[in-house]
Amino acid sequence: MTTKKLDPQDLECAIELLQTAGLKSISKELQKIKKQQSKPRIKIASAKNKGRQLQNRVRQDIISNYGIDEKDIRTASGGQPGCDIILSAMARRKFPYAVEVKNVEKLNLRTAWEQAVSNAEKENLRPLLVSHSNHSEILVTLQWAHFLEIGKSVIEKGGEKP
């Protein structure tokens, strides 16, 4: 349901009238609308900064965990087409993934995954989707078959089963 922004005073008056008339369920719906309209929306600059922060975290984690030189990996600027983490040829040998980073509260997983796959195909890398929302862990999405390959490789190299 889409609603137009209503004048707060008109909305308050309508709520009072509905409560007086005994129409509490409609009154509650209007109260929800009033509450939603009073919430500040995140500004575009803030949203881009939020995404950039996660990109920087992912970049630093890759550098730290895969021994990649800082000069061989960088983050894409906001709105730049392609992978969010840009890897040199040397970095690709150690970390063969096309990384798509999403730092949003509501993730459309199918759309984000399709973007990761499209970028990966262009770069001849494996798709990897890194996602995060406020107050939650950073998650990774990858292809099931590739996940099984990773697990098998760990076991074959003498690692324990996860």
Of 56, 88, 94, which Cα lies nearest the Cα of 75?
Answer: 56
* Buried residues in 113-150 as b, exposed as e (16+ CB within 10 A): bebbbebbeebebbbbbbbbeeeeeeeebbeeeeeeee
Q: Which CATH number fits domain 44-156: 3.10.450, 3.20.20, 3.40.1350, 3.90.1750?
A: 3.40.1350
Could you give the percent of the chain with pLDDT greater than 70? 80
Higher pLDDT, 114 or 4: 114
pLDDT surpassing 70 at residue 48: no
pLDDT surpassing 70 at residue 149: yes
- Can you give the residue ranges of every domain in the chain? 8-38, 44-156
Q: How many CA atoms lie within 13 A of 104 on its CB side?
A: 11
d(CA 12, CA 38): 13
d(CA 105, CA 86): 24
pLDDT tens for 95-139 read: 999 999 999 989 999 999 999 999 999 999 999 999 999 989 999
